[in-house]
Structure 1
Amino acid sequence: MAEIQREPVPRVDTGELDVALAFLEFQRHCVLKKAEGLSDEQLRRPMVASGTSILWLIRHLAGCEREWFGRQFAGGEPAEESEPADPPAAEVIAEYRAAIVASDRIIRDAGDPEALTAILIDGVRKTLRWVLAHMTTETARHAGHADIIREQIDGATGR
């Protein structure tokens, strides 16, 4: 099957923070692209035994953005647990986009890969570099899951 959602990886090579952020942005984009053109039902449809859906992945990643950049790195308050159990798909996607904007602002405001987390992780403060690598890995892992789920739904492939 021909890849119909394929895009090149970033070519940015202007500095450590620029490169790290470009690759994280690329992975985020890949996740969001998997949701494009799908109905609410398709976004919610679990395609694996664990019950994972594209919408679940997006909601999970929004929480990861808030946790790792907003709380662990910047020292913000933990996210409230009062979110509705079954919000509209458009709301979940909008929340992910808003979490990305907030994370990017935190990253750019820090401006230094050596900046340290506000919260101790395993008893030490980690660098922004570490948080970026962690979130890029987490997002890429789930982008792969979304890619497989999307292919199962309608045959669309590619990164």
Structure 2
Amino acid sequence: MVQGGRVFEGTVPLRQLERLRDLLASAEGDAVYRVEFGIDEFDVEFVDIRVDTGLPLVCQRTMNVFVQPCSISQRLGLLRDEREENALPEGYEPLLVTDGQLHIKDVLEDELILALPLVPLSPGAPLEQVPVTAGSAPEDGQSPNPFAALGQLKSSRH
């Protein structure tokens, strides 16, 4: 595929991406992809990956399901040995291919998992207000000393 500069395009249903599916609110939808293999001017074998989809996630503020747009464009340098990683040009992410085979679906799934937000928040979700209780902040504007209570305990023991 690398020597021939092969290009693959298509769609994959999210429900077929088993590891990703478990992280989503639902497995509805498709990921549209384009994968191109080649060799660059530095003789580095690479695969360019482009993926566009919407990921159904649960907003951690509202607990409602929303669709997070996801667009990935990544160039992966194909490595046969981990020691080759330092030779990759800037802008390449390493992809270890020890057996000479690459499963496109697995690579697409890996990239989508990496694109997931740590804390999903739907756009426009209301910010939660932290209630302020009377007497919680000193009137002089200085922050309270978190160790003041320990000092009181120490002086009461003597």
Q: Same fold (TM over 0.5)?
A: no
Higher percent of residues as helix: 1
TM-score by length of 2: 0.25
**Greater relative contact order (Cα < 8 A, sep 6+):** 1
TM-score by length of 1: 0.25
